[in-house]
A and B are shown apart, each in its own frame.
Chain A
Amino acid sequence: MSNKEKEPLFSAKNMKLLTGPLNQNNPITVQILGICSALAVTAKLKPAFVMALSVTVVCAFSNLIISLIRNTIPSRIRIIVQLVVVAALVILVDQILKAYVYDVSKQLSVFVGLIITNCILMGRLEAFALGNKPWQSFLDGIGNGMGYGLILIILGFVRELLGAGTLWGYRIIPESFYEAGYVNNGLMLLPPMALILVGIIIWIHRSKNKSLCEK
């Protein structure tokens, strides 16, 4: 069935591009990139999810575009070209959020604009998209965006549940708990606790995955 010269779209190698960043090569917990925004936008699940989606979209399409034009980019201005492409995509995402999910875009405030400075994007462009075909680069972008998003959603889940007793804005912990003396953990809503949570996730991740531990 498959053409000999052309490898199938979802070959094992390509799938690894997609799933690697979720675990073995996670941008946040293994490469320790993009921590700043991960702390800032995860106090609630909804903004965390929108942020994850935005980064995935920007990462995938910037990888795709750079990979498409990689052979024409003069190497002396390649960083500038990458920045222009990423910045354009980020502005696009920002405009779309402002038009269709205005409340969320207000919560994310500057952090959408700051996707430009997210090291994951430039890192993937430099390390992958400049030297690989468009389809692979696109998958790599989606994979890394999802790897980043996965951690964001875990953080958002824990922080909103324990910090506010809600999920996606809906009350999860019933009123009767509060009447019985249960109190929300306010520290959960502050960035320092998010950093501690990231640390805990890294700890669990490494203890499950010995190959990640430094000798």
Chain B
Amino acid sequence: MNKQSNTYIIVYSIVLVVVVAVALAFTAMKLQVTQQRNIEIEKKTDILNSAGLYKEEPGTDKNKAVETQYNTYIKQSFLVDAQGDVVQSADPAAEALKVLNNMKAALSKPETERELPVFISEKDGKKNYIFPVYGTGLWGPVWGYIAMNSDLKTISGAVFAHKGETPGLGAEIATPAFGNQFVGKSIFKGDQYVGISVLKGVGSSQGNDNAVDAISGGTITSRAVQSMIIDNLKFYLPYILKQQTAAQ
């Protein structure tokens, strides 16, 4: 057989690629369930962390610990629409997680058709509303969870995560040091919704109730966090306002 002939080369490459493709597709399918579960556990950990509820349990399986704590503390989860109404469905908690797993698709819908998840946690009578936010950073998606106190004005905690921001710079948004700045900040100025601004320069947000310090060297990521919070929470605004009136 002539190994230099074009026919041989073409047949050889086709066979090789098909074999490799089948092998990879097979493993990807086999492992998909485990991988999806890891991603969901991570999201649940972040949700718990934003409300300051997650406790590591050394010695036990992390996945199990997260599941138990999530089921204990997250009392309600559901989708809300652009009018601020809770979307009725048979299993709202499952629907909420489903949308959370694909925020990008949910956000690409026109605002009137959009439905986004809300999580409500409760521990020792303290209620937190947790709003997921999602945006685009410098290199890829950035996302986070904003936990609000029951007055739905001030933030009780925030956790951010990212796909591939620059280590040491933009990636710093995922550190507790950045997230903790949000504690006690307000998304309202008087009665006006303003969201949270991310201001350049260390200390520039001092005394400002509606702002936090940006990451130095991570300007674009910081800006992404700011617009992600302002835009995403704006969608929840009708829901937030309705809850505020209901509470009064």
Contacts and interface: CB of A to CB of B under 8 A. Distances in A.
Contact of A102 (B4, B24, B28, B38): B38
A190 B31 CA distance: 34
Nearest to B63: A102
Contacts of A74: 3-4, 8-9, 12
Given A95-B28, A100-B34, A109-B164, A88 B12 contact: no
A106 B31 CA distance: 16
A110 interface: yes
Contacts of B27: 92, 95-96
B41 to A, nearest CB: 8
B20 interface: yes
Interface residues of A, number: 22
A76 B17 CA distance: 16
Contacts of A180: none
Interface string A67-111: 000001111110011001100100110011011101000000110
B16 interface: yes
Contacts of B24: 88, 91-92
A86 B178 CA distance: 39
Interface residues of B, number: 22
Interface string A119-144: 00000000000000000000000000
B216 to A, nearest CB: 15
Contacts, number: 52
Pick the most buried of B17, B28, B38: most chain A CB atoms within 10 A of its CB: B38
A99 B33 CA distance: 8
B13 A80 contact: yes
A43 to B, nearest CB: 9
A110 B164 contact: yes
A99 B13 CA distance: 30
A88 B13 CA distance: 14
Interface string B4-44: 10001100110011001001100110010011001101100
Contacts of A92: 23-24, 27
Contacts of B34: 99-100
Interface string B159-183: 0000010001000000000000000
A109 B161 CA distance: 14
B13 A77 contact: yes
A109 B4 CA distance: 40
A86 to B, nearest CB: 11
Interface string A190-205: 1000000000000000
B172 to A, nearest CB: 13
A75 B8 CA distance: 11
Given A74-B8, A75-B3, A81-B12, 10 more contacts: A72-B3, A85-B20, A92-B24, A92-B27, A95-B28, A96-B31, A98-B35, A99-B35, A102-B39, A102-B42
Interface of B: 3-4, 8-9, 12-13, 16-17, 20, 23-24, 27-28, 31, 34-35, 38-39, 41-42, 164, 168
Interface of A: 72-77, 80-81, 84-85, 88, 91-92, 95-96, 98-100, 102, 109-110, 190
